[in-house]
Amino acid sequence: MFSSITFIGSFTSVDSLPKETLPAIVLCGRSNVGKSSFINSFFNRRSIAKVSQTPGKTRTINYYTVENRFFVVDLPGYGYAKASKKDVEAWQKLIDEYFSAAGNIKLVFHLVDSRIPPTGDDILLSEYLQAREIPRSVLLTKTDKLNQTEYSVSLKKITEAFKDLTVNVNLFPFSIKKAISREKIYKQILKVIKA
């Protein structure tokens, strides 16, 4: 597994993003799905990324470097109930500018809550990435909250919603409470940052 992660900064506009051109792994998904938790858990740093039970915690583009080899980018989440029309527009603008400006994006991890079937926003994001030919894998989060039957249903729903997904290839069940898929996610990151 990766040995070190360093917080670089939080950005509210794309003009100030790091100029360095390391390969980037980007985390995207609904608010509260577990993007910041994934960073803490996967990179084994208990609270390098701020986590909250209240959706809408991460409002900035947060950059980390891992082993000085690649960036991990935590994007603000979408789809929380309290978001105003202005919030949604600001989010769309920031995300669109981000994907237009950021070079060297090797992979987007699109996080989807295993208890909530993909929403309209998830489908829009998926189509957006596809249209821009940005490679993505889905992390199905919080699987510790499901029993075996619910887990099977969850996998079925996500593969029905996104026909391109195959478990352990570009779809990885994940949990901060269980060691699941970690080696596979690790290998995928290694592969894409070398490509």
| CB 47, min distance to Mg ion, A | 12
CB 10 within 8 A of CB 61: yes
Q: How far is the CB of 167 from Mg ion (least distance, A)?
A: 25
Q: How far apart are the first and last CA of the chain?
A: 19
**Binding window for ligand GTP (CB under 6 A); candidates: 55-63, 81-89, 97-105, 115-123:** 55-63
51 binds ligand GTP (CB under 6 A): yes
Partner whose footprint covers residue 100, from ligand GTP, Mg ion, none (CB < 5 to 8 Å by kind): none
Q: Which is nearer to Mg ion, 34 or 173 (CB)?
A: 34
Q: Which of 32, 62, 137, 154 binds ligand GTP (CB under 6 A)?
A: 32
User: x/- string (CB under 6 A) for ligand GTP, residues 68-107?
Assistant: --------xx------------------------------
Taking CB positions, which residue lies at the least distance from Mg ion?
A: 58
Instruction: By CB under 6 A, tell whether 147 contacts ligand GTP.
Output: no
Stretch that binds ligand GTP, among 49-57, 62-70, 118-126, 146-154 (CB under 6 A): 49-57
Minimal distance in Å, beta carbon 75 to Mg ion? 9
Residue 61: closest CA among 46, 52, 53, 72: 72
* Shortest separation between residue 119's beta carbon and Mg ion, angstroms: 17
Q: Is the CB of residue 136 less than 8 Å from the CB of residue 106?
A: no
Q: Which residue in the shown chain puts its C-beta closest to ligand GTP?
A: 77
Chain residues that interact with ligand GTP, rule: CB under 6 A: 31-37, 51-53, 55-58, 76-77, 141-142, 144-145, 175-177
